[in-house]
Structure formats: structure tokens, C-alpha cells
């Protein structure tokens, strides 16, 4: 049996992808990769202007794009995002729940209820609701692939980001649950990301930007998320579902 070329393995021609938090960081890298692989892309984040800039980049690659300003933690607002995506393209084949937030706190005692609720809403409630809305349509239609962007914080929690770690651990559990609920037409997986030099890393101390407590001894570069993402959303991973794949440089 012949082996397909790398391009054919990751070919997304004719697919429509929706990426939350898609206007910067890891989300933008995935948006670019999906467009280069042939997909049209819906880019959602809170800042519409940033979504528009990312959409313009997708169009420059010869693909169609929809920019949509949305707060993924707002339960009632997500139906508008889904309706807009289906209205523009008629379907969604790929959903990437990438939007997240990871504020640090001096102690758990000093975390306010408002901050706790916001962290859980963005990192867990939003992906739950969006996957339920889109996964149900996928399962009843042509199928699809969902990828949740989790964090190694889920398995290596720290008191300064306990709420975030808990939300990401819940997202890992959600990945397994939805993989069962929407099988066999929909595959649901997660990428458990380690430290990456995205926009948020600009506030890190220089030592933290150049070194990391992992096997490779460094943070990841944003483009290093792309291959795992392409694998999970492409037909090449047809026997992979309910999996949490670690892309972390080797968690210690």
C-alpha cells in the first residue's frame, strides 16, 4: 500500500474550521495552518478588529474567512456565533476550542468569585456549550472533528493558578465524554499544551522565556502546535478520538 504525501495526509480542502481565540497566539497559528491546508476559517475572539485582521490574512492565502467577535464564556452569545458560521458556510467540519485565560493569583484565598467564574467560563463552560451546539449538528450531518486546547496545568497544578488548572482538568474530562456522545461521526480530542512563547509570554521574566522546566528545557514556539492540530483535525487521525495529546516539551 502506498503512503500518502505529507500534503495529502493533512489536506483540508473543502473543510470549514471554527477556531475560538483565533486572532492571536496558538489560535492564529492554527488558523494559518488550516487555511494553508485548504480550509475556510471562522475566527472568533472578543476583539472583532483582531479577528478581521486574521480573516484578511486567511483571504490572502486564497481561502474564505468569517470574523466574529464573541466572548466564549457568555453562554447565550454562542448560538449567535454558531448561526453566523452556518449562515456563511452552511456547515462546520472542524471546531477548535482554543480561547482561554490563565491569570495568576497570590493565593487561592485572594481569588474573587468574579475571577473564579470568569476563568471557569472561558476555559470550561464555553467549550462545553460550543461543542454541544456544534457537535450535535456534526453528528446529525457529515461528522467532524473537535479539538480542545488544554494545558499541562491540568496534571501539574500550582496554587497560583488553581482555578485554571481545575478548569483544564475538567476540559480533559469533557473531551472523553463528548468523544463518546458524538461517536462515531464526530471525533473529539485535546492537545495538552505546555509553555509557549505567545503574546502572554511577553510579560514573563527573561529566564522564563528562555528556559522551561521540561525535558527540552525551553518553551515552545507557537508554530510547534501546528502539526498536532493538523493531525487531529484531518482524516489521517480517523482512529483517534477521546485522546489527550501532550505537546509540552516533555513535562517533568
Range from 91-95, 181-185, 187-191, 204-208 carrying the lowest mean pLDDT: 204-208
Q: How confident is the model at residue 206 (pLDDT cuts 50, 70, 90)?
A: confident
Average pLDDT over residues 230-238: 97
Average pLDDT over residues 67-82: 97
Range from 38-42, 76-80, 159-163, 165-169 carrying the lowest mean pLDDT: 159-163
User: Residue 26's domain spans which residues?
Assistant: 6-247
Q: Is residue 1 part of a domain?
A: no
Pairing of strands 94-97, 65-69: unpaired
d(CA 8, CA 22): 24
What is the tally of structural domains in the chain? 1
pLDDT score of 103 = 86
Strands of the chain (E only): list them.
16-20, 40-45, 65-69, 94-97, 144-151, 186-193, 244-247
Q: What is the CATH number of the domain that holds 170?
A: 3.40.50.720
Q: Is residue 128 part of a domain?
A: yes
- Known catalytic residue: 164? yes
| Residues pairing with 188 in the sheet | 146
pLDDT score of 7 = 74
Q: Please name which of 175, 189, 179, 15 lies closest in space to residue 93, comparing C-alpha atoms.
A: 15
Q: Is residue 241 part of a domain?
A: yes
Q: Catalytic residue among 68, 86, 164, 182, which?
A: 164
Q: Is the pLDDT of residue 1 over 50?
A: no
Read off the pTM: 0.95
Please spell the DSSP secondary structure of 7-41, one letter per residue.
HHHT--TT-EEEEETTTSHHHHHHHHHHHHTT-EE
Q: Is residue 252 part of a domain?
A: no
Q: Is residue 214 part of a domain?
A: yes
The contacts found for 104-110 with CB under 8 angstroms, 24 or more apart, are 104/160, 104/161, 105/160, 105/161, 105/162, 105/163, 106/160, 107/159, 107/160, 108/159, 108/162, 108/163
Burial 27-46 (b: 16+ CB within 10 A, else e): bbbbbbbbbbbbbbbbbbbb
Pairing of strands 65-69, 244-247: unpaired
Average pLDDT over the chain reads 94
CB 17, CB 29: distance < 8 Å: no
Amino acid at each position: 500500500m502506498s503512503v500518502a504525501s505529507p500534503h495529502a495526509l493533512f489536506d483540508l480542502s473543502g473543510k470549514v474550521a471554527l477556531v475560538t481565540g483565533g486572532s492571536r497566539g496558538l489560535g492564529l497559528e492554527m488558523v494559518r495552518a488550516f487555511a494553508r491546508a485548504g480550509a475556510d476559517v471562522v475566527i472568533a475572539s472578543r476583539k472583532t478588529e483582531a479577528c478581521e485582521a486574521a480573516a484578511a490574512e486567511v483571504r490572502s492565502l486564497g481561502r474564505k474567512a468569517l470574523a466574529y467577535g464573541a466572548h466564549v464564556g457568555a453562554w447565550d452569545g454562542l448560538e449567535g456565533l454558531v448561526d453566523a458560521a452556518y449562515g456563511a458556510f452552511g456547515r462546520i467540519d472542524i471546531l477548535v476550542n482554543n480561547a482561554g485565560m490563565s491569570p495568576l493569583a497570590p493565593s487561592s484565598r485572594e481569588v474573587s468569585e468574579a475571577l473564579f467564574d470568569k476563568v471557569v467560563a472561558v476555559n470550561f463552560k464555553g467549550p462545553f456549550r460550543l461543542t454541544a451546539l456544534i457537535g450535535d449538528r456534526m453528528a446529525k450531518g457529515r461528522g467532524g472533528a473537535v479539538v480542545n486546547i488544554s494545558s499541562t496545568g491540568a496534571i501539574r497544578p500550582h496554587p497560583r493558578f488553581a482555578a485554571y488548572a481545575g478548569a483544564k482538568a475538567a476540559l480533559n474530562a469533557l473531551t472523553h465524554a463528548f468523544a463518546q456522545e458524538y461517536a462515531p461521526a464526530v471525533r473529539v480530542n485535546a492537545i495538552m499544551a505546555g509553555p509557549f512563547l505567545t503574546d502572554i509570554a511577553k510579560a514573563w521574566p527573561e529566564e522564563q522565556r528562555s528556559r522551561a522546566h521540561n525535558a527540552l528545557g525551553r518553551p515552545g514556539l507557537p508554530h510547534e502546535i501546528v502539526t498536532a492540530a493538523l493531525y487531529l483535525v484531518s482524516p489521517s487521525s480517523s482512529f483517534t478520538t477521546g485522546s489527550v495529546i501532550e505537546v509540552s516539551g516533555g513535562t517533568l
